Amino acid sequence: MSGRVIVITSGKGGVGKTTTNANIGTALANAGNKVVMIDTDLGLRNLDLLLGLENRIVYTIVDVVEERCKLKQALVKDKKNPNLCLLAAAQTRDKTAVTEEQLKDICEKLKKDFDFILVDCPAGIEQGFQNAVAGASEAIVVTTPEMSAVRDADRIIGLLESKEEIKSYKLLLNRVRPNLIKSNDMMSVDDVVEILSAELIGIIPEDTGIITSTNKGEPVVNDEKSLAGKAYRNVAQRIMGNEVPFLNLEEETSVVKKVKKFFSNLIRKEK
Amino acid sequence: MAENIFTELYNRVLSLFGQSVQKEENTKDLACNRLRVVLMQDRTNLTPELLERMRKELVELLSKYVEMDKDALELNFEQEGEQMALMLSIPVVRAKNEEEIEAALKEADEKETDSSDEKSSDEKSDDDELQDSDESFEETSDETTDEDSEGEQSTEDEAEKSDEESASDEEVSQEDDEQSSKEQEVSTEEVKSSDKDSKKKNK
């Protein structure tokens, strides 16, 4: 087996890299793939929290590179899905504790046993980013329809293009708010895609379910009803090479929205 | 009056839901435009002044051959795979006929020979500045250095030269209908890149 190493990166912090990682990883594993996630955000680890695995971590990636344990011992199995593993970051060390070469080496070893290796990249473009990208051959650039996030994504794309190992990169647009787009107060998906001229792999709507799912330590893809969950499942399908149409986020369903719509139409007529 | 009452009522109802309809008009376009400008600078190292200068020079050059809507000229850098492309889009108001083009060329030639003596020293210093700030940007610097050397050559040569220049540098696609007053979109694409390197440097 030779797995695909995909780095999930963004430049800017807080756009949803780790959430994306947890959800895509879970969705890929649920679809029957063997998946391992590597948290490279040394000192600021969070992927374990999102997966609800924080109490099960014994060894971290730093223990692996400093040879206090074997690579396999450091892999934490997911609660629900035995196909899903996590290699956690060390919380007490900084980004210099692991080098690019060491990460490359870990990825090479994991490739033999897993279909997908998802690398969760820290924010920024410094050493942490360089480390995370080192072992990967594909990248997913997470951004939101906000100026600062798009600008940082552009910079990340520039850096990825200068790396020979990265064969392809795709754009994932997170925290999209259809209502704001409709009222012309947020850049649309097309705007962002045009500005960054990158291929799109997913559009994830803003969803309060993300917060509650983090509280529970269970990725939102496991929630059948959640729209964001569905969008993440579609991303996983696209990664696997299946063609799935993008979700139509324009549907307005809730009663409050319908009332609002009624009033806005009324106002428009009055004007 | 009636509509004011309605609007107010509507706003009050909405504010119950924590929202207000009285927002600035279309902040999305504002964001897009600001982003485009800032990314262009991020990607190329061209300052707004240099961009404005490039724009001016392009307008000057192209308006010898076609009549266009100068204010609607759009200049964008786009990433196309490995290369960076300079996308130039100008709505053409009307295609010029041969006499007009010749007249424009002549006028430009005369202008240049007239002022070449006084100007040359100024221009040179400007060019140096330009090349210093962005060496990779061959487009602009080429153009200006050409102008410089042209000034010293005979006028006939110049006309030929600028003809060739335009033919090779720009592909202006245009419909046959020369005199149509309808606006046609002409897009010229100019790719000059050793730019991958420059991009690496930038990042």
Q: Output b/e per residue, A187-223; b: 16+ Cβ within 10 A.
A: bbbebbbebbebebbbbbbbbebbeebbeebbbbbbb
Phi and psi torsions of A108, nearest 5°: -60, -45
User: What's the start-to-end Cα distance of chain B, in Å?
Assistant: 57
Residue among A151, A260, A270 whose CB faces B35 most closely = A151
- For B203, which of A150, A155, A185 is closest by C-beta distance? A155
**pLDDT score of B3:** 63
pLDDT band per the 50, 70, 90 thresholds, residue A177? very high
A151 to B80: CB separation less than 8 angstroms, yes or no? no
Residues of B in contact with A262 (CB under 8 A): none
Find the closest chain A residue to B82 by CA distance: A161
Residue A146 has pLDDT above 50, yes or no: yes
The residue extents of the domains of chain A are 4-270
pLDDT at A85 over 60: yes
Domain A4-270 has CATH 3.30.70.270: no
Better-predicted residue by pLDDT, B159 or A97: A97
ipTM for the assembly: 0.78
Q: What is the DSSP-derived secondary structure letter of residue A247?
A: P
Comparing B86 with B173, the larger pLDDT belongs to: B86
Residue A213 has pLDDT above 90, yes or no: yes
CA dist., res. A264 & res. B74, Å (int): 35
Question: Nearest CA to CA, how far is A24 from chain B (Å)?
Answer: 26
Residues of B in contact with A158 (CB under 8 A): 43, 199-200, 202-203
| Owner of token pair 């010293």 | B152
- pLDDT of residue B95 exceeding 90: no
**Which of A213-217, A234-238, B130-134 tops mean pLDDT?**
A234-238
pLDDT at position A200, please?
A: 96
Q: Cα distance from A104 to chain B (closest Cα, Å)?
A: 22
User: A4: which 2 tokens?
Assistant: 């695909």
Residue type, B11: N
Distance from CA of B26 to the nearest CA of A (A): 5
Nearest to B166 by CA among B118, B96, B113: B96
pLDDT at position A216, please?
93
Of B14, B28, B38, the CB nearest to A187: B28
Instruction: Decide: A119 and A136 in contact? Cβ < 8 Å.
Output: yes
pLDDT reading at A99 higher than 80 = yes
State what percent of residues in chain A have pLDDT above 90: 85
Tell me what pLDDT residue B58 has: 86
Three-state secondary structure along chain B?
CHHHHHHHHHHHHHHHCCCCCCCCCCHHHHHHHHHHHHHHHHHHCCCHHHHHHHHHHHHHHHCCCEEECHHHCEEEEEEECCEEEEEEEEEEEEECCHHHHHHHHHHHHHHHHHHHHHHHHHHHHHHHHHHHHCCCCHHHHHHHHHHHHHHHCCHHHHHHHHHHHHHHHCCCCCCCCCCCCCCEEEEEEECCCCHHHHHHHHC
Beta-carbon separation of A270 and B6 below 8 A? yes
Predicted local distance difference test score (pLDDT) of residue B108: 82
Query: Using a CB-CB distance cutoff of 8 angstroms, which residues of chain B are in contact with residue A270?
Result: 2-3, 6-7
Contact B14 A186 (CB under 8 A): no
- Going by DSSP bridges, is the β-strand pair A168-176/A84-87 parallel, antiparallel, or unpaired? unpaired
- B interface test, pick of A187, A255, A257 with most B CB neighbours within 10 Å: A187
Mind telling me how many Å the CA of A200 is from chain B's nearest CA?
A: 15
- A-chain CB neighbours of B44 within 8 Å are none
Most confident of the ranges A118-127, B80-89, B162-171: A118-127
Residue of B nearest to A163 (CA): B200
Domain boundaries, chain B: 46-168+183-202
pLDDT at B115: 66
pLDDT value, residue B2:
60
Of B26, B36, B202, the CB nearest to A184: B26
> Does residue A27 have a pLDDT over 60?
yes
Smallest Cα distance from A164 to chain B, Å: 11
Tell if the CB–CB gap between B43 and A154 is shorter than 8 Å.
yes
Q: Which residue of A has its CA nearest to B85?
A: A197
Contact B203/A at CB under 8 A: yes
Which amino acid makes up residue A107? C
The mean per-residue pLDDT over the stretch A202-218 comes to: 94
Least confident of A37-46, A76-85, A163-172, B188-197: B188-197
pLDDT, tens only, B147-188: 444 444 444 444 444 444 444 444 443 434 444 444 444 444
